[in-house]
Chain A
Amino acid sequence: MKSEENKTSEVVKSVENIEIMPPVDIYEDAEDFVMHFEVPGVNSSSVKVEVENNIMTVECASTLRRGNRPVLFKRIFRLSRAVDIAKITACACDGILTLKLPKAEHIKPFKVPVA
């Protein structure tokens, strides 16, 4: 009986995702923060980006497998108020996920017009 239980738990484990934290490059320009994640085996339809209470979760289901387990790329960031959350966009191409996080209006430099 005990060995059967062990077998069952092994089967359950075999279908669990294996989570890997993908490396990321981040840069900013005048308008946006831009993030490039390395996520091989991922296309746009398998990307999930969620923001809740300024916590951004990025999840990408990959076609890569390790052993019998599918790879899930996952990374979590805490965003500051410098980001306009409503305007975040994501795009995956050639195994690179690009997130654009537009800067909020209130942190952009304000130019004073000279009369």
Chain B
Amino acid sequence: MLNNLKKHSFLPAVRRWDNMFDSVMGKLDLFPGEELRSELDAYIHPDIEVSENYVNIRMALPGYTKDEIEVEIENDLLTVRAEHANDKPCRCKGKKILRSERIHTEFFQSVRLPGNVKSAEAAARCCDGVLTVSIPREVSPKGISRKIEVK
């Protein structure tokens, strides 16, 4: 992923310009370029932070409310599903679509969790289009160490 970020931070400056309202009157660009789609992968991938006591997972779910998101843990697999209650909200009558880059299909992602997680105590929170799942881990007892004399 780091390679991806490095690659895309060098996108030509011209890619960051959109002649939107000039193109409104002429040609339309309804499909995002391959470069834009790859750049978006940078935030679509979940952030996973593993510590001794907790696993924290952050996922970008822009446009979904908490009621539209379903989080499930089965064994060591965390699955997140999200679907809009009102499908394709901007595709209504009386509106002319000028550009459509966002993906409006169902969101689905699975993440394999590290061992010793207490899935019954997991908590999920959605704020500003970012889902955070926190799962406590069982702390494994520290091993007893002893010195062995070399004869």
Residues in A lying within 8 Å of B, measured CB to CB:
18-30, 33-34, 36, 38-43, 63-67, 71, 74-80, 82-83, 92, 94-96
Contact = CB atoms under 8 A, between A and B. Distances in A.
Nearest to A80: B21
From A26, A39, A78, A82, name the one whose CB has the most chain B CB atoms within 10 angstroms.
Answer: A26
B60 interface: yes
A24 B17 CA distance: 13
B53 to A, nearest CB: 21
B25 interface: yes
Contact-residue size bin, chain B (C-beta under 8 Å from the other chain):
35 or more
B61 A28 contact: no
Nearest to A97: B62
Given A20-B40, A40-B129, A27 B62 contact: no
A78 to B, nearest CB: 5
Contacts of B100: 25-26
Interface of B: 2, 5, 9, 11, 15-22, 24-25, 32, 36, 39-40, 42-43, 47, 58, 60-65, 90, 94-103, 128-130
B5 A66 contact: yes
A76 B17 contact: yes
Contact of B102 (A25, A65, A77, A92): A25
A contacts with B: majority SS:
strand
A95 B63 contact: yes
Contacts of B102: 23-25, 36, 38
A95 B129 contact: yes
A41 B130 contact: yes
Contacts of A92: 128
From A34, A75, A80, name the one whose CB has the most chain B CB atoms within 10 angstroms.
Answer: A80
Given A21-B15, A40-B60, A92-B128, 18 more contacts: A19-B16, A20-B43, A23-B101, A25-B90, A26-B20, A26-B98, A27-B96, A38-B62, A40-B128, A41-B129, A66-B5, A76-B17, A80-B24, A80-B25, A94-B64, A95-B60, A95-B62, A96-B129
A18 B5 CA distance: 8
Contact of B63 (A20, A29, A94): A94
Given A23-B40, A40-B129, A95-B63, A76 B98 contact: no
A52 B62 CA distance: 28
A80 B22 contact: yes
A78 B17 contact: yes
A75 B16 contact: yes
